[in-house]
């Protein structure tokens, strides 16, 4: 039996965190290739440190996308984030590009040929999760952790808070009573700032953003509100700590409230099931909870490289289902083709919609008119209700 009274913590990191800088660059490269060719293949990793950006990976796409193109994409991403610091500057950083053509052996396994449908771009397991703790059907701790940093970033970009830097982290601990979150017991925010202000000034800049994000009455006690606990955070971003693509997979998903298969999303085109199948699993789980067929739901999908159909589809509603779980699993598989091609077609994933996912979570976002965050749609709700009536 699961516990009903407990504390649970999740963290988020901002777009200027070194790892998120790398995710943003890698996803901007994915978008560049998909803009030129929706069937392009991309698997590109980024490393960044003090005034240094390194790109490495394999691609299949138009020859017109050169190393110089990729360098310009990387610089543009860093500029958009807001790095114009001595130790990391979009214009002055060195960019090395080690990107080559996709392996022919991988291409053989993935490409459709004759009677063979397109296969998964890799083996692995992917999880999707949804719960009724928030309006967007996300776990509350990660939802509020993201929202605090997004609020600070918007204020920085607008010029309302010019003394803040791009690098930041947040951490929210919530108290659960009878399985439902009721208040924050602690909030931690560390944000890069100008050397002209001290810790107390940063604390008062951060405070209203936390108060505005948390529900009324949820603010933690003052002695558990930690802002820049080390006292100073002037040197930040890749100048303060090296970054790598794919190192914040729990931040990207459910904040530790659900299982994770281990595969990162950023830098991968949607033939890679690490990305597309994780989106599909979230889509299915969200529609189950959105249809009020369960209070929470986790879905696991598994794939083998070169094989089109999932090897397994596992559904768990933690005893909260209002319908038979086996029947629910069957209906979900009838409603959505979970082959890599089927997922991409159903969710419209062969589009340049990925740079925007690189910070503040891939889930719990609003579906956008151009197809961005299509996996957050609730368009299966009526079909599920009808099929399971």
pLDDT in tens, 11-30: 999 999 999 999 999 999 99
In a domain, 260, yes or no: no
383/276 same-domain check: yes
348/375 same-domain check: yes
For this structure, is 248 an active site residue? yes
128/274 same-domain check: yes
Q: What is the mean pLDDT of residues 233-242?
A: 96
- In this predicted structure, the answer to whether residue 62 has a pLDDT above a threshold of 70 is yes
In a domain, 177, yes or no: yes
Q: Where residue 305 falls among pLDDT bands split at 50, 70, 90?
A: confident
160/221 same-domain check: yes
The answer to whether 94 is a known ligand-binding residue is no
Least confident window among 97-106, 236-245, 344-353, 368-377: 97-106
Q: What is the CATH number of the domain that holds 339?
A: 3.30.300.10
The answer to whether 157 is a known ligand-binding residue is no
Q: What is the mean pLDDT of residues 236-248?
A: 97
226/286 same-domain check: no
For this structure, is 260 an active site residue? no
Active-site residue among 36, 242, 304, 387? 242
In a domain, 262, yes or no: no
For this structure, is 147 an active site residue? no
The answer to whether 272 is a known ligand-binding residue is yes
Average pLDDT along the chain: 95
For this structure, is 150 an active site residue? no
- In this predicted structure, the answer to whether residue 1 has a pLDDT above a threshold of 50 is no
- In this predicted structure, the answer to whether residue 367 has a pLDDT above a threshold of 80 is yes
277/325 same-domain check: yes
**Nearest of 276, 282, 290 to residue 351 by alpha carbon:** 276
The answer to whether 326 is a known ligand-binding residue is no
The answer to whether 168 is a known ligand-binding residue is yes
- In this predicted structure, the answer to whether residue 106 has a pLDDT above a threshold of 70 is no
- The DSSP bridge pattern shows strands 180-193 and 225-227 to be parallel
For this structure, is 247 an active site residue? yes
Q: Where residue 377 falls among pLDDT bands split at 50, 70, 90?
A: very high
**Nearest of 215, 236, 214, 298 to residue 85 by alpha carbon:** 236
Tally the domains of the chain: 3
Q: What is the mean pLDDT of residues 76-93?
A: 97
In a domain, 198, yes or no: yes
For this structure, is 292 an active site residue? no
198/128 same-domain check: no
308/380 same-domain check: yes
Active-site residue among 24, 146, 272, 282? 272
Q: Show the domain range for 280.
A: 124-132+247-254+270-387
In a domain, 261, yes or no: no
In a domain, 242, yes or no: no
Residue 116 pairs with which residues in a beta bridge? Answer: 113
In a domain, 152, yes or no: yes
For this structure, is 68 an active site residue? no
Active-site residue among 161, 274, 295, 376? 274
In a domain, 92, yes or no: yes
pTM: 0.95
For this structure, is 96 an active site residue? no
In which residue are the tokens 């800088």 written? 21
176/81 same-domain check: no
- In this predicted structure, the answer to whether residue 110 has a pLDDT above a threshold of 80 is no
182/77 same-domain check: no
Active-site residue among 241, 325, 330, 337? 241
């Amino acid at each position: 039996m699961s516990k009903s009274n407990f504390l649970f913590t999740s963290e988020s990191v901002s777009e200027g965190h070194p790892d998120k800088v790398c995710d943003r660059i890698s996803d901007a490269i994915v978008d560049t290739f998909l803009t030129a060719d929706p069937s392009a293949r991309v698997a590109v990793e980024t490393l960044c440190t003090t005034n240094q950006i390194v790109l490495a990976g394999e691609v299949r796409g138009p020859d017109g996308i050169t190393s110089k193109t990729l360098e310009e994409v990387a610089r543009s991403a860093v500029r958009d984030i807001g790095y114009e610091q001595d130790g990391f500057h979009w214009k002055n950083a060195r960019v090395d590009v080690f990107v080559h053509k996709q392996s022919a052996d991988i291409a053989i396994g993935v490409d459709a040929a004759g009677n063979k449908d397109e296969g998964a771009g890799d083996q692995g397991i992917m999880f999707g999760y949804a719960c009724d703790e928030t309006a967007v059907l996300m776990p509350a701790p990660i939802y509020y952790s993201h929202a605090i940093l997004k609020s600070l970033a918007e204020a920085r970009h607008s010029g309302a808070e010019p003394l803040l830097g791009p690098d930041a982290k947040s951490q929210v601990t919530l108290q659960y009573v009878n399985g439902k979150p009721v208040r924050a017991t602690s909030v931690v925010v560390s944000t890069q700032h100008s050397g002209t202000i001290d810790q107390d000034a940063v604390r008062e800049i951060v405070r209203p953003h936390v108060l505005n994000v948390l529900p009324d009455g949820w603010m933690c006690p003052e002695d558990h509100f930690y802002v820049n606990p080390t006292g100073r955070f002037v040197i930040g971003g890749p100048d303060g700590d090296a970054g790598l693509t794919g190192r914040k997979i729990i931040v990207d998903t459910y904040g530790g409230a659900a299982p994770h298969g281990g595969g990162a999303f950023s830098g991968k085109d949607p033939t890679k099931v690490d990305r597309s199948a994780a989106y599909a699993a979230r889509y299915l789980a969200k529609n189950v909870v959105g249809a009020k067929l369960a209070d929470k739901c986790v879905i696991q999908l598994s794939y083998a490289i070169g094989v089109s159909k999932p090897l397994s589809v596992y559904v768990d509603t933690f005893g909260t289902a209002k319908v038979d779980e086996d029947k629910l699993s069957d209906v979900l598989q009838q409603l959505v083709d979970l082959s890599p091609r089927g997922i991409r077609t159903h969710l419209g994933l062969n589009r340049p919609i990925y740079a925007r996912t690189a910070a503040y979570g891939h889930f719990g976002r609003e579906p956008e008119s151009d197809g961005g965050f299509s996996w957050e749609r609730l368009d299966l709700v009526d079909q599920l209700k009808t099929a399971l009536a």
